[in-house]
Amino acid sequence: MIVEIEATSGFCFGVERAVEAAEKALAGEHEVFCLGEIVHNPHEVQRLSNKGLKRTNHNDLPSLSGKTVMIRAHGEPPETYQTLRQSRNKLIDATCPVVLKLQKRVKKAWEENPNAQIVIYGKPGHPEVVSLSGQIGHKAIIVSDQHESLEKIDFRKSVVLFSQTTQSLEGFHGLVKELECRLKNHHAGLSEALIVNDTICRQVSRRGPAIKKFALSHDVVIFVSGANSSNGRYLFGLCLEANPNSYLVEQAGELRKDWFKGARSTGITGATSTPCWQLEEIALAIKNL
């Protein structure tokens, strides 16, 4: 049986950059604290933990005076930086450059459109969304899809729309259409009522079509992802849509021999938070079944 790992799989640029920053810091120090989970993958978290990376939270920051603290790729709101400065912590800022640029755009839009509502298409409570809304004092309206949460928007006022970088393009375009439909009932022209900023990361959005094509080219697909990865759940859904013989696993021990009965080829892929070493581990386990 042929076993192939999808060429575009592995960490996205932002996560890879954060992991490299952690490894570099750990090579020179015995102890580094990461604010939150560095990546939504328990096996990669454990690998880095074995090297000395420790997880901390916002409540514990004041007690970490003088320690090395890392901000992960999702970014943080301004008040986190203030707390770190007050605690005299050594800061490693691994905020993804794409997110960092988006933070600045959200703040600028707020300053240039004081009477408008800043709407962010994203997952409420997601660390990136918190970091974005934090740029404007957490006054952004968070909308999770085109059907829910819209009651928080006052359609008599104009809207400036942004998106969490890892959201789906289809969902974003659907939300834009819904906003246009509702806003036109209160405004003569949509050009002033709605400013659309498509801020979805293209490295992430391109994974969807690539995964669908990859899933269609194999008899069986094994999708590797941490259980708490929202990106993983979304991409696995696309896999399953393209190929019903798709299976979601978090580790090699979850593989079942009967999945591969009669299969001539198996494809392996994963979330943007799944490391290449884990995909290779799964591939080896399949060959040894």
Average pLDDT over residues 19-45: 93
* Domain C-terminal end among 94, 121, 150: 94
C-alpha–C-alpha distance, residues 26 and 207, integer Å: 31
State percent of the chain over pLDDT 70: 100
Query: For residue 247, what are its two tokens?
Result: 């299976």
- 149 with 236, same domain: the answer is no
CA distance 285 to 289: 6
pLDDT recorded at residue 157: 95
209 and 196 in one domain?
no
> What DSSP character marks residue 74?
T
**3-class state of residue 21 by DSSP:** helix
- Is residue 184's pLDDT more than 80? yes
State whether 144 and 118 are in the same domain: yes
Is it the case that residue 136 has pLDDT exceeding 90? yes
287 exposure class (CB count in 10 Å sphere: 0-12, 13-18, 19+): exposed
Residue positions annotated with a catalytic role: 128
**Final residue belonging to a domain, choices 94, 113, 143:** 94
177 with 128, same domain: the answer is yes
Segment 63-107, tens digit of pLDDT: 888 899 999 999 999 999 999 999 888 999 999 999 999 999 999
159 in the Ramachandran plot: left (φ > 0), alpha (ψ -120 to 50) or beta? Answer: beta
- State yes or no: pLDDT of 54 exceeds 80: yes
Question: Quick one: how far is CA 10 from the chain centroid?
Answer: 13
**Section 152-166 average pLDDT:** 95
Residue 14 has pLDDT above 80, yes or no: yes
CA distance 225 to 84: 32
Mean pLDDT of 202-222: 94
Helix (H) or strand (E) run with residue 93 in it: strand 90-93
The rounded distance, in Å, linking the Cα atoms of 207 and 57 is 31
C-alpha distances in angstroms, 106 versus 80, 96, 102, 164? 18, 15, 6, 11
Question: pTM of the predicted model, to two decimals?
Answer: 0.90
The model's confidence at residue 228, banded by pLDDT at 50, 70 and 90, is: confident
> Are 102 and 180 within one domain?
yes
Q: Which domain covers residue 238, as residue numbers?
A: 2-9+205-287
| pLDDT score at 225 | 94
- Of 263, 287, 268, 264, the residue nearest 279 (C-alpha): 268
Query: Do 107 and 182 reside in the same domain of the chain?
Result: yes
> What does the pLDDT look like over 258-285, one tens digit per residue?
999 999 999 999 999 999 999 999 999 9
Q: Is the pLDDT of residue 126 over 80?
A: yes
Give yes or no: residues 214 and 278 share one domain: yes
- Shared-domain flag, residues 135 and 211: no
